[in-house]
């Protein structure tokens, strides 16, 4: 079974989200709780769901994660103040039941849900929200340990007290009311707060475990981490939180299991060893569709797979070299060979499913042309090409189901213009750490959007604020002052039409500078046993599983 109609509905909701976020930031808008108890589940309660994936989590501290294999797990352990709806990026209440912004968009007040407890039995309240955000945004806070808190930079520009910092301070108004004071209004502020990276952790657990909190996660979410239940590169086990504020989850237990090979993962599903898998080879989708014991899902496309050039290393500091290599990447060939028609060739980092996409640039994109690429290389001073490394991810991701094979294909195309590449790979956590530190020359990577806003792609991946090792999300280390000016103006402008124009201008400059070669926006496929009910793949790549059940 394929959920094509479901996909279109979700994409429509993603587009709707942008206008909702802007209305809130425009000031004076007040949202009231609409999310009550979950729909009454008809399925039989109990059972264990085994979710197989390609790689392990790098940490279980959501505030110090930037990758999907972590948030897939932590989304079920933790809650955020507000969250995305089950089938869209529209924001709804979570730990906060109401919120309102001041007319100037610089003050946000959240009313918190009462009678919520962390898994360790301690109480959730306004002080715990302040404790968590102080930990994240203040580099001088004694609990600002365990990682780089990369998403504070990605979404809120800088840490507290630094130039450009969006969040000035967090105030406790009373036990159930907390206020965020911003230095500048931020259009996607509410959507940003809904990200799993800003989840609320137990202050007592953070105080107890400090920089080891990533191995001892304690939240308020539907499932609890089982101490000792993380076997590296094997399994992570969660058990139901019977006291969950939305009601007891249906499943007793969830096990996230690592099976690196895509084919082996599908074989495990067919044999009944596991119940749900992601990271499928798109070419296997037809096999799943033909099997009455399996269900196929399409995750809405909100991602980009790309080849990054380190613009601070020679010869990639020369735009002509980058443009030449962009012409040597056969984007459509990659999509045809490795995505089985479940993807489209990309022009820039922003997917067409998100507002602000500059469609006019498709006609100006670098076409696959090896002769022109050779000519540009000669003009850049490399008539005979050069030798360099090409880093390939070690795990399949939604935007890169077969990274090694894709790297080999690009390697072969580069050889045709005289650029000899040595393929390099390493353990996933190390790969992320080293690319964020700018140690690569060329590297494959990608991005699944977190909140449905253009800011989450363009500012995160291509602004100079995010080109700061060792925590660079902009791993091309690309710095263009005009692009920065446009993206910051778009962040602080409430008018969506104005924002849209600013993003389109930025995309044109970025295309000309070619700091990366975006080559695909994929439609990831997943599969489950037909006994799995209630699973809805979310566009962001992470989802709570408290409404999922298994027929017995």
* 3-class secondary structure, 417: coil
Whole-number pLDDT of residue 43: 57
Tell me whether domains 223-299+525-551 and 303-522 share a fold.
Answer: no
Check whether 70 has a pLDDT greater than 80. yes
Lowest-confidence segment of 24-38, 102-116, 524-538 by average pLDDT: 24-38
Q: Span 56-76, mean pLDDT?
A: 94
Task: Give me Rg for the CA atoms of the chain.
Answer: 23
The answer to whether 246 and 222 are in contact (CB under 8 A) is yes
- The SS3 call for residue 107 is strand
CATH superfamily membership of 223-299+525-551: Periplasmic binding protein-like II (3.40.190.10)
206-225: pLDDT as tens digits: 999 999 999 999 999 999 99
Cα separation, 110 vs 31, whole angstroms: 10
CB 112 within 8 A of CB 96: yes
Q: How buried is residue 16: exposed, middle or buried, by Cβ count under 10 Å (0-12/13-18/19+)?
A: middle
151-180 residue pLDDT tens: 999 899 999 999 999 999 999 999 999 999
Average pLDDT, the chain: 91
With a cut of 60, say whether residue 19 has pLDDT above it: no
Confidence bin at 416 (pLDDT 50/70/90): very high
Position 516 confidence tier, pLDDT thresholds 50, 70, 90: very high
Q: What's the rounded mean pLDDT across residues 66-86?
A: 95
pLDDT attached to residue 42: 52
Q: Which helix (H) or strand (E) holds 174?
A: strand 167-174
At residue 485, the pLDDT reads: 97
- Classify domain 303-522 by CATH number: 3.10.105.10
| pLDDT of 434 higher than 90 | yes
Which CATH number is 79-205 given?
3.90.76.10
Share of the chain above pLDDT 90, in %: 87
Confidence of residue 45 (pLDDT cuts 50, 70, 90): confident
Higher pLDDT, 27 or 61: 61
Can you give the pTM of this predicted structure? 0.86
CA distances to 28, 39, 73, 190 from 109, rounded to whole Å, are 11, 29, 29, 11
The pLDDT value given to residue 26: 27
DSSP category for residue 240: E
**Domain map of the chain by residue range?**
79-205, 223-299+525-551, 303-522
Q: Is the predicted pLDDT of residue 466 greater than 70, yes or no?
A: yes
Spatial distance between the Cα atoms of 410 and 393, rounded to a whole number of angstroms: 14
pLDDT reading at 1 higher than 60: no
Q: 449 pLDDT exceeds 50?
A: yes
Of the pLDDT bands very low, low, confident and very high (cuts 50, 70, 90), residue 292 is very high
């Amino acid at each position: 079974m394929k959920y094509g109609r479901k996909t279109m509905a979700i994409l429509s909701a993603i587009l709707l989200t942008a206008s909702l976020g802007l209305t809130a930031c425009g000031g004076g808008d007040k949202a009231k709780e609409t999310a009550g108890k979950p729909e009454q589940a008809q399925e039989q309660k109990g059972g264990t769901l085994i979710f197989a994936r390609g790689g392990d989590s790098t940490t279980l501290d959501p505030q110090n994660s930037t990758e999907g294999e972590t948030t897939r797990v932590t989304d079920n352990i933790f809650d955020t103040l507000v969250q995305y709806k089950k089938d869209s990026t529209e924001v709804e209440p979570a730990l906060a039941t109401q919120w309102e912004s001041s007319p100037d968009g610089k003050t946000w007040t959240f009313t918190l849900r009462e009678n919520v407890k962390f898994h360790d039995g301690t109480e959730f309240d306004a002080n715990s929200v302040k404790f968590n955000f102080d930990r994240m945004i203040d580099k001088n806070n004694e609990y600002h340990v365990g990682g780089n808190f990369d998403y504070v930079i990605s979404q809120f520009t800088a840490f507290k007290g630094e130039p450009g910092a969006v969040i000035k301070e967090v105030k406790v108004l009373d036990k159930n009311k907390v206020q965020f004071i911003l230095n500048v209004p931020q259009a996607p502020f509410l959507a940003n707060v809904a990200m799993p990276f800003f989840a609320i952790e137990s202050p007592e657990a953070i105080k107890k475990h400090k920089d080891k909190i990533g191995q001892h996660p304690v939240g308020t979410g539907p499932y609890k981490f089982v101490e000792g239940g993380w076997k590296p590169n094997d399994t992570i086990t969660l058990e139901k939180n019977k006291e969950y504020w939305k009601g007891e989850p249906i499943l007793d237990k969830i096990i996230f299991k690592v099976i690196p090979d895509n084919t082996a993962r599908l074989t495990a599903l067919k044999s009944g060893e596991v119940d749900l898998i992601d990271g499928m080879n798109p070419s296997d989708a037809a096999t799943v569709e033909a099997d009455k014991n399996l269900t196929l899902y399409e995750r809405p496309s909100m991602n980009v797979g790309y080849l990054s050039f380190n613009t601070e290393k020679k010869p990639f500091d020369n735009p002509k070299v980058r443009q030449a290599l962009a012409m040597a990447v056969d984007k459509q060939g990659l999509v045809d060979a490795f995505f089985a028609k479940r993807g489209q060739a990309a022009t820039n980092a922003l997917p067409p499913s998100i507002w602000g996409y500059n469609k006019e640039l498709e006609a100006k994109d670098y076409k696959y042309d090896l002769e022109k690429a050779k000519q540009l290389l000669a003009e850049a001073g490399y008539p005979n090409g050069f030798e360099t490394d090409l880093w390939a991810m070690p795990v399949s991701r939604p935007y890169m189901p077969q990274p090694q094979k894709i790297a080999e294909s690009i390697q072969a195309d580069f050889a045709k213009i005289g650029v000899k590449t040595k393929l390099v790979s390493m353990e996933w956590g190390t790969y992320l750490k080293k690319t964020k530190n700018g140690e690569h020359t060329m590297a494959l990577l990608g991005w699944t959007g977190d909140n449905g806003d253009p800011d989450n792609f363009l500012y995160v991946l291509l602004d100079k604020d995010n080109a700061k090792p060792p925590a660079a999300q902009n791993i091309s280390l690309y710095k263009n002052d005009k692009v920065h000016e446009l993206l910051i103006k778009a962040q602080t402008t409430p008018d969506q039409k104005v924002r849209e124009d600013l993003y389109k201008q930025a995309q044109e400059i970025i295309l000309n500078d070619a700091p990366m070669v975006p080559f695909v926006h994929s439609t990831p496929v997943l599969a489950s046993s037909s006994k799995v009910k209630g699973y809805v793949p979310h566009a962001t790549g992470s989802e709570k599983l408290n409404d999922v059940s298994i027929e017995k």
